[in-house]
Structure 1
């Protein structure tokens, strides 16, 4: 399986995010990220957060509604969680909030859509610790410079980058599509397929099976 794009769902999430963000200062980045998460039908959306409510969080929650998925925000402490929760409730949204270090909090999660802040020193470690599903995943780095080295974040050979792009939206977005397959965190191995030939003695036909 792999991620399949739905333009209809993306458009609905984009529009709803625009409406939801009217309470706050508008952000083109929020609408774009929301549309991507919804369009790729992300079932588990994870973001890291440290201060002030962001329109991006609103967009991710809107996207999760359209995909019938789960939106998880990882906050560094209880005070941040309270501030975040109160602000999101003001927008009529209530995502799941986990308190702790992101690298630890994401253990056991199979993530479809991950959003991190490149201004934080642990952003690279979070990406390396993340585990993605068989459909592949999308990773978004906010506040990104144009020279983010994606390959260095996937140098263990267990995952591959299909494509990446830098967009001068907001304060900079660097987006990567992680390929579908048997990919996991560092210790996991890639499961390689192989072709097996079989002959039917009665009919003389040859069958080729991928295993």
Structure 2
């Protein structure tokens, strides 16, 4: 039986798995997906190559596990920057800027690439769980945006929610293309507030 480095086998398993996920993410960020292999992950994590398969079924599963652990972190980081006492328009603007700033710590494009580059395995529990996490956060985000428009009592809240969603995703794209996040943050904040003003004007027509 291999030597364990934690008080219990379960804790050792979790610790090694975390090392493998961290090694996977480091390789992907620093060298790209073409450099990812069982050998590279094992070397980065400091464990024997064959030991990987005691913890995951494939290297692709490690990509998905890396994605899965970032989803709740992203959600907590973003929503913690939205003042629950603010008016709905300011909540929308704050949420948009917080989402953008979070790309500095965990690029949206990088995280989504983890899902895209993992080969489909219909029977993979890990894939199904990761896809479920991503769908959940997307639903949570759109639901939050829609709720703020409903609170503003505008006509067609789904339409206005879609506009904000589109602006946020466009800002992600600009940031990932190299634009300065802080230079994007002000115009993004102002654009969302301008949408709120436009919706209010549309309501009185």
Q: TM-score, normalised by structure 1?
A: 0.24
Higher helix share: 2
RCO higher in 1 or 2 (8 Å CA, sep ≥ 6)? 2
Q: TM-score, normalised by structure 2?
A: 0.24
Higher strand share: 1
Q: Which has the larger radius of gyration?
A: 2
